[in-house]
C-alpha cells in the first residue's frame, strides 16, 4: 500500500511542472497518501532534502512557470554510490513510491533506482522538446511552441519592414518537433531540423525568388546537421553572399505561464502517476497516446527514438 510518496522535477524545467506537482499532491491527499517534495531533483534526493507538501504549499502555483521544487542535473547520481545514498534517504523517510517528472536523463536515473534498489518509481514527461517515446505530447511543449510563435511573429514584422533574411534558432538538440511546428505555424520559408537533410542551395533559391526585398524567415533546430543558426548564417554569407540576421530564442522557450493545454496535460498525468503507484505499477513512464493514458517501460522512453511524423515534414515542404 502507498502511504507516503515523493515527487520531484529533474533536468530542464518546463512550463506545467508546477501544475503537475499540484495534481500529484491534491490527488494523493484525496487517497489519504502523504506527499513529500524532493528539492533540487536527484541532488536533493542524495542530500535527503525532502519537504512535506499539502494543499497550502501547492495553492496558486498552477499558473507559474518553472518548478517550485527546483531542478538540477546531478553528476553524483550517475555513480552507484550516489544512487545508493539517494535510495537510502528514501527508505529512511519511509517513501513507498516516487513520481519523477523530467526527460530522458531523469528516466534513465529512475530506471536504475528500480533495478539497483527496488524503489517503486514512475516517470512523467516534463520537457519542452516533445522527444520522448511513449507519449504524443510532453508537459511544456505547447507553451514552448506558443512562446516561439509569438517571438517569430514579431521578428517577421521587422523582416518585412527592412527586407531582411532572419535565421531563428529554436531548441531541439536531437529532435525537430519545435522547429517544425513553429515553422509551419509562422509561415517560414525554410525549416532545418535533425531529421531531414538540409539543402542550402534550396534556401538560396527561395531567397533569390524574393528579389531585392529579401524578406525570409528561416527556422533552425539547434541540432541540425549543418550546424546552428550562426553556422548556417556564416555559410550563407560565404557561399551565396547573403547577409542574414541571427536570433537565438534560447531559454525564453522554457519560461512563462503554461498554456491551458499544458496545465490540463500536467494535471492529468499527475493523477495518472499516483494511480499507477497505487495499482502497483513501477519502472514505467506515464504518457498520453491518442488521448488515453499509456504506460511505457522507462528504458524504452530514453532508448527508443520518437519519430517526427512524415506528414509534418511533407506539410512543411508543401507550404513554403
What is the rounded distance in angstroms from the CA atom of residue 40 to the CA atom of residue 66?
12
Number of domains in the chain: 2
Q: Report, as an integer, the average pLDDT of 241-247.
A: 93
Tell me, yes or no, whether 122 and 247 share the same domain. no
pLDDT at residue 174 in the model? 86
pLDDT at residue 213 in the model? 66
CATH no. for residue 149? Answer: 3.40.50.460
In a domain? residue 308: no
* Sheet with 97-102, side-by-side order of all strands: 50-53, 34-38, 4-9, 97-102, 121-125, 284-289, 292-297
Q: Nearest CA to 294 among 125, 77, 177, 44? A: 125
Catalytic residue among 13, 104, 129, 181: 129
Tell me, yes or no, whether 175 and 103 share the same domain. no
| Residue 238 domain boundaries | 142-254
Tell me, yes or no, whether 266 and 130 share the same domain. yes
pLDDT at residue 57 in the model? 96
Tell me, yes or no, whether 272 and 135 share the same domain. yes
**pTM, to two decimals:** 0.94
Tell me, yes or no, whether 199 and 298 share the same domain. no
Tell me, yes or no, whether 78 and 198 share the same domain. no
pLDDT per residue as tens digits for the range 113-126? 999 999 999 999 99
pLDDT at residue 214 in the model? 66
Tell me, yes or no, whether 9 and 130 share the same domain. yes
pLDDT at 175 over 70: yes
pLDDT per residue as tens digits for the range 18-44? 999 999 999 999 999 999 999 999 999
pLDDT per residue as tens digits for the range 293-318? 999 999 999 899 999 999 999 999 88
* Residue 27 Cα distances to 21, 32, 171, 218, 270, angstroms: 10, 9, 33, 44, 8
In a domain? residue 309: no
pLDDT per residue as tens digits for the range 179-232? 999 999 999 999 999 999 999 999 999 888 877 666 789 999 999 999 999 999
Tell me, yes or no, whether 263 and 289 share the same domain. yes
Q: Has 129 been annotated as catalytic?
A: yes
Tell me, yes or no, whether 133 and 262 share the same domain. yes
Amino acid at each position: 500500500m502507498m502511504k507516503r510518496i515523493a515527487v520531484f522535477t529533474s533536468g530542464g524545467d518546463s512550463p506545467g511542472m508546477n501544475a503537475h506537482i499540484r495534481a500529484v499532491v491534491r490527488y494523493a491527499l484525496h487517497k489519504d497518501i502523504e506527499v513529500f517534495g524532493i528539492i533540487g531533483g536527484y541532488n536533493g534526493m542524495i542530500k535527503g532534502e525532502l519537504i512535506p507538501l499539502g494543499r497550502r504549499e501547492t495553492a496558486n502555483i498552477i499558473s507559474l512557470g518553472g518548478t517550485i521544487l527546483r531542478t538540477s542535473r546531478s553528476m553524483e547520481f550517475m555513480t552507484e554510490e550516489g544512487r545508493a545514498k539517494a535510495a537510502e534517504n528514501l527508505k529512511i523517510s519511509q517513501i513507498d513510491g516516487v513520481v519523477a517528472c523530467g526527460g530522458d536523463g531523469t528516466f534513465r536515473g529512475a530506471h536504475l533506482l528500480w533495478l539497483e534498489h527496488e524503489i517503486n518509481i514512475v516517470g512523467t514527461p516534463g520537457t519542452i522538446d516533445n522527444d520522448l517515446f511513449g507519449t504524443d505530447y510532453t508537459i511544456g511543449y505547447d507553451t514552448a511552441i506558443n512562446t516561439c510563435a509569438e517571438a517569430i511573429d514579431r521578428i517577421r514584422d521587422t523582416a518585412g519592414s527592412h527586407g531582411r533574411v532572419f535565421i531563428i534558432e529554436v531548441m531541439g538538440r536531437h529532435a525537430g518537433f519545435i522547429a517544425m511546428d513553429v515553422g509551419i505555424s509562422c509561415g517560414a520559408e525554410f525549416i532545418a531540423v535533425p531529421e531531414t537533410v538540409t539543402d542550402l542551395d534550396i534556401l538560396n533559391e527561395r531567397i533569390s525568388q524574393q528579389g531585392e526585398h529579401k524578406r525570409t524567415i528561416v527556422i533552425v533546430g539547434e541540432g541540425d546537421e549543418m550546424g546552428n543558426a550562426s553556422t548556417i548564417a556564416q555559410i550563407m554569407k560565404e557561399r551565396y553572399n547573403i547577409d542574414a540576421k541571427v536570433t537565438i530564442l534560447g531559454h525564453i522557450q522554457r519560461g512563462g505561464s503554461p498554456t491551458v493545454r499544458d496545465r490540463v496535460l500536467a494535471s492529468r498525468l499527475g493523477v495518472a502517476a499516483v494511480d499507477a503507484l497505487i495499482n502497483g505499477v513501477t519502472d514505467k513512464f506515464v504518457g498520453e497516446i491518442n488521448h488515453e493514458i499509456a504506460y511505457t517501460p522507462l528504458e524504452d522512453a530514453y532508448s527508443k527514438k520518437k519519430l517526427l511524423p512524415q506528414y509534418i515534414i511533407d506539410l512543411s515542404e508543401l507550404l513554403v
